[in-house]
A and B are shown apart, each in its own frame.
Chain A
Amino acid sequence: MPKGVLVDVTRCFGCRSCQVACKQWNDIPATPTTFNNSWDNPPELNAYNWTRVEYHLIEKDNQIKWRFVKRQCMHCEEPACESACFTHSFVKTKEGPVIYKPTELKQDFCVGCRYCMIACPFNIPKFEWDKALPFLRKCRFCNDRLHEGLEPACVAACPSGALKFGEKEELLAEARQRIDANPAYIKHIYGEKEYGGTSWLYLSDVPFEEIGFKTGVSEKPIPLYSWEVLRWTPYIFVGWGAILTALYFYTKRRAEVHAEEDMYTAVETMEEEKK
C-alpha cells in the first residue's frame, strides 16, 4: 500500500534534526552555509540539501509567531517530472516514493536537460552544477529504508511528532480527525488534492499561503495537461500530411515546370581579401 508522511506544522519547533538525519542517511556532503535574510539554514534546497526547515515569522491573533515548515519533495501521485522526462528517469513507485532511476536503480538514461526542473510545480529537482556529468538530486523518500520496512530517516529523527509516517489512507483519515478535533487547524489538508494529490500531507493552524505554500493551484494532475495536447499528435501528423499531399498534387497540375538547376548560381565574394 502507498505510504505517506503527515507533517503537522503546529507540532514542529524547528530543531532541524530531519535535515541532519537526511544528510547522514543519504551520505550527502556538507555545504558551506551563507548569511541570508531569514533564519533558514541552508537558505535553499539544492543538489546537496534535499530537505530544509523554513522559518516563517507570521502575525496571528495580533501576535508575532514562528511557524516552522519542513520542505522536501512532495512525492506527487502523478508527478510532473515523470511525465516531463523523455527518458523516464523519474518514476513514481507503488510504495509512494518518486525516485530518480540513474542514481536509485543505476539505469542511467538521463541526458540532463533539466526539463523536470521546469515542470515541477514545487521546484524540487536540483542539479549538480559543479559536476562534469551531473545528476538531478532530490528527496528520495528514503526508498531503501521503506523497502526494509523502516520509516524515512527524517521521520525517525523527529523528536516532536511533527512528522508521522504511515499508510497514506490512514494518514488522511488521521489528518481529518485532527482537524475535526481541534478548531485551531485550517480546514485543509495540503497535498490531498493539489495537482492530483501528493504522498506528503501538511496540516497547519495558519493559512498555507502565509507559510510558503502555493495555494489555489490546479487539482488536475500535471501529466494530464501535456497528454491533452500530445494525444493530438498522430492525428495532426496524418491529417496535415494528407492535406499537404493533396495540395501538392492539386497545385502541381496547374504550375509550370521550372528547370531549377539552371536558375541558381554560386556568387563571388565582394569584400576584399586580406593580404
Chain B
Amino acid sequence: MQRAWSFKLTPTRYILIALVALMIIVAIVRFIFGLGMVTNLNDHWPWGLWIGFDLLCGIALAGGGFSTALIVHVLHRGKYLPIARAALLTSMLGYVIALVALLFDIGRWINFWRPFFYWGYHSVLFEVFWCIALYTTVQILEFGDIFLERVKSFPLKKVLGYAMTPLLIVGIILPTLHQSSLGQLYVVAVDKLHPLWWSMIIGFFFVWSAFFLGPAMVTLEGTLAARAYKRTPELPIFQSLTKVTLWMMIVYLIVKIIDLVYRGVFSLAFNGSFESNMFLIEMIVFVIIPIIMYAIPAIRTKLWGVVTASVLVIVGVIFNRMNVVFTGMATQMGGHYFPSPWEWLVTLGMWSVLILAYLFIVENFPILIKEEHAKEVAVTHGASVGKSVPSGA
C-alpha cells in the first residue's frame, strides 16, 4: 500500500534547482578564493547577510519546532497534533540550512570540526555551537522516527521509540539554551550595540521571541502548504495557537519596557535618531499591532486575520534580528555594507534547498495530517482519536 518514491519536476521546481546550482558554483568560488572575492563583508562589518539572515533569522524561524514540540509532546495538547510533524520538518531543515550557512561563512572552514575538541566554555559561541550541533542531531533522530515509518526497519524503530521521550525533552532544552545564547552573543558588544537592543537579558528576548514566533510560523507554513496541496488550512488550530502568541507577546512588551526603564534608556526610543525610529517601528508595527490583531476575535477568527498577524510577527522577529546585527551596531562599526549579488544568490540558493527538501519530504513521507483526521481532531479537541482508522485508508 506504499506509493513509489516520487518528485515531480514542475516549472517552479526547475527554477529552484537552478538557484541551488548557482549557489553551489558561488560556494566553490568562495571556498577557493576566499570571502573577499564573493562577499561585501569588510573589517567594519565582519558579519553580514549569511550570519544575520540565514543563521540568526533561520534559527529563529525554526523556533516553530521547539514551541510545537513543547505544546504537543510535553504538554500533550493532542489537538495540535495535525501540525506537529510539519513544524518539526521545517525546523529541522532550517537548522541544516543554518549550519550550511555557517560553514560558508567561517573563514578557516577546514577547521570547522575543531570546536568539538576545543572546549572554550567561557565563550557564548561555545554554547551556541554545541547546542545547535546537538539539536540538529536530535531533530534528525526525531525525524528518523517518521523516516522509519516509510523505510521499514522495525529493530531501529524500536530503539528509537525508547529514546524518543528523552530526545523530545533534550530537544526542547537545547533550543531554549541556544536561542537565548544567540542573543547573548551580543552581551560582549556592550558600548557597541545600541542600548535600545543591548541588554544583559537580550538572551531572554531572543528565546522568548523565537518561542512566540513558533505558532506564527506554523500558521504561515500551514496556510502555504494548504494552498500548494489544495487542502483545507487548519484554521481552528491556528486560532487556538494565537492565545499562546498573544500572551507571550504581551509579556515580551512589558519586560522590554521594564528593561529599558531599569537601564534608564527608555527616552532614547523617542529621540528621533535612526536607531530610535527603527526601534519604534519594531515595537509598534511588529509587536503592538499583532497583539491588537490577536486580541480582537473578529480578526483572529478569520483566516486572513490570523495569517496577516502571523506574517507581522514573523517579519517582526526578522526585523528585530536585523536591528541587532545591523542597525544597532552601525554607529560603532562605521563603514558600509550591503550584501553583494553573490551573497544574495547564496542565500536564495539555501532557501531554495529548504523549499525543495520540504516538498520532497511531504510528498514522500507522512508529514501532513490526513484530511479526515484533521476534522476529527479539531472537533474532539484531541479527545479519543484512538486507533480507530486502519492503516491504508
Contact = CB atoms under 8 A, between A and B. Distances in A.
Interface of A: 44-47, 80, 83-88, 108-115, 117-119, 121, 123, 126-135, 214, 217-218, 222-223, 225-230, 233, 236-237, 240-241, 244-245, 247-248, 251-252, 254-274
16 contacts: A87-B120, A110-B114, A111-B109, A113-B125, A114-B46, A117-B43, A123-B44, A123-B332, A127-B107, A128-B34, A131-B34, A229-B124, A244-B74, A248-B169, A259-B385, A266-B365
Contact of B192 (A110, A121, A226): A121
Given A229-B184, A267-B229, A273-B9, A88 B368 contact: no
A109 B43 CA distance: 21
A14 B85 CA distance: 66
Contact of A133 (B41, B107, B384): B107
Contacts of B168: 248
Contacts of A127: 35, 43, 46, 107
Interface size of B as a range: 35 or more
Nearest to A252: B76
B45 to A, nearest CB: 9
Contacts of A268: 229, 363
Contact of B120 (A86, A118, A119, A218): A86
B366 A265 contact: yes
Which of A88, A256, A269 has the most chain B CB atoms closer than 10 A to its own CB? A269
Contact of A270 (B228, B332, B366): B228
Identify the 6 closest CB pairs spanning chains A and B, nearest first.
Answer: A112-B107, A129-B36, A255-B76, A264-B366, A86-B120, A114-B46
Interface of B: 3, 6, 8-14, 31-37, 41-44, 46-47, 70, 73-78, 81-82, 85, 105-112, 114-115, 118, 120-127, 129, 146, 149-150, 165, 168-170, 172-173, 176-177, 181, 184-192, 200, 203, 228-231, 329, 332-334, 359, 362-370, 373, 377, 382-391, 393
B177 A87 contact: no
Contact of A88 (B70, B73, B118): B118
B118 A118 contact: no
A236 B178 CA distance: 11
A247 B149 contact: no
Contacts of B228: 270-271
Nearest to A194: B191
Contacts of B11: 271, 274
Contacts of A129: 34-36, 41-43
Given A258-B385, A264-B85, A272-B10, A111 B107 contact: yes
A118 B105 CA distance: 15
A230 B185 contact: no
B114 A87 contact: yes
Contacts of A227: 122
B71 to A, nearest CB: 10
B188 A84 contact: yes
Given A126-B43, A229-B124, A259 B165 contact: no
A266 B177 contact: no
Given A259-B388, A269-B6, 18 more contacts: A86-B126, A87-B111, A110-B107, A115-B185, A119-B189, A128-B34, A129-B36, A133-B107, A135-B108, A225-B188, A228-B200, A241-B169, A244-B70, A244-B172, A251-B75, A255-B78, A263-B81, A264-B146
Given A119-B189, A258-B78, A226 B108 contact: no
Contacts of A245: 169
A240 B382 contact: no
Contacts of B82: 263
A31 B115 CA distance: 33
Contacts of B390: 262
Contacts of A117: 43, 46
B120 A134 contact: no
